[in-house]
Amino acid sequence: MKLFIKLSGEDQLRYLFCWLELIIIFSSSLKTIYSCEKKMPVTALLTKGEGSEEMTIHELNGHVDHLEMDVPDAVAKATTPTPTTLGKSLRSLKINEVSAQDDDEESLPATGSQSTSCIHRHMATEFTYDMSHASRGKVLIVNNVNFAPATNMSKRAGSEKDADELADALRLLGFGTERYKDLTCSELERVFQNVSAQDHSDCDCFMFCIMTHGSNSVIYCTDGVLYLEDLMQELKGDRCKTLAGKPKVFFIQACRGELLDNGVELPVDDQGTDEVDSGGTLSITPVIPAEADFLVAYSSPPGYFSWRNVSLGAWFIQALVKVLKDHGPSLEINQLLTRVNHVVAYEYSSNSSMPDFDNKKQMPYYTSTLTKELYFHSNNH
């Protein structure tokens, strides 16, 4: 009031005009809020789109997050005066511009860059897996080296080096490791049944690595074969509820057939003899994960041999170890596996005394039903 009395008659009229315009804009914003509430009643948030099931707390919170971002933005646009009218008048009086954002600075972003940052934080929660649990999780490493005569499978020389180095690389990423060697079919099934029965509530994820012989969708134990899909069933949401919604990653070093990849010849050093992790000619449909949050990375595509150097280890495992140690804490899982693909494709070529097996290539292959991005950032696990 004191400021108003000190102003000249012309400035007093301009001041009154400003307040009248503010009242009109405020009235318009109230209509906008009322319209938004009519279009989206709160009760609409309590049911799913087409069904009648009650929403989980997580899903309801997801809707609330969207409302907090969308509705205030609409109100801010309706209540912010345009600079060509009220702003000019206020500046002529040397009074700072006023907007709806000034009254709620903590809840509404004041600038475009801050608004973008807020959205990015929300996206990170929605599209990346939560890797902030008390434990990174458990990784099972199975190394089958010796096989019963009835399987007609040879000894997998050089595989211990792979198991040791893979365990070291995964421990650097915060995983607790459990190692097994030369498991029978029943023993491996029992291991997965035990994992399924455990409580993984405080874990980020689960990982399984096996080095063995194989063919298409089966893997060899010391006394016979198992379908990989049967093992995966133990970890799906209906059997292991504490792993539901969490990433389950499988690394499979095993042959998936008897095809050879001729590729493009590349010069390599003489570093020992390469063998193949092959297992007969069983004709079985390749496994494609049918449930969410699984990633299965194979050493080769369906139908192809996988290579293992008896001195240096398996190509796929050695490439995986290198990439995990160099980039594991920084890159997303798809980026990591793309790097693995590159290393195997460009840096390896077979060196065999048998001409038909010499200078051959290998291409790793993975399938994924992951629903979010997966990072192994350091989290003091």
58 catalytically annotated: no
Scan for tokens 């390469």, then name that residue.
Answer: 274
Residues with Cβ < 8 Å from 100, sequence gap 6 or more? 29, 75, 76, 79, 80, 108
Residues with Cβ < 8 Å from 261, sequence gap 6 or more? 304, 305, 360, 361, 362, 363
Residues 147 and 185: their CA atoms lie apart, in Å, by: 12
* Number of residues in the chain: 381
Among candidate residues 255, 342, 377, 381, the one labeled active-site is 255
Burial class (CB in 10 A: 0-12, 13-18, 19+), 269: exposed
Burial class (CB in 10 A: 0-12, 13-18, 19+), 276: buried
Q: β-strands 307-309, 313-314: how paired?
A: antiparallel
Q: β-strands 218-221, 274-276: how paired?
A: unpaired
Residues 257 and 168: their CA atoms lie apart, in Å, by: 30
First to last CA, the chain: 62
CA nearest to 243, candidates 211, 295, 203: 203
> Which of 347-379 are b and which e, b meaning 16 or more Cβ less than 10 Å from the residue's Cβ?
ebbbbeeeeebebbbbebbbebebebebbbeee
133 catalytically annotated: no
Q: β-strands 248-253, 294-298: how paired?
A: parallel
Burial class (CB in 10 A: 0-12, 13-18, 19+), 183: buried
CA nearest to 360, candidates 270, 262, 224: 262
Residues with Cβ < 8 Å from 99, sequence gap 6 or more? 76, 79, 80, 81
Among candidate residues 18, 213, 221, 240, the one labeled active-site is 213
Residues 367 and 373: their CA atoms lie apart, in Å, by: 14
Catalytic positions are 213, 255
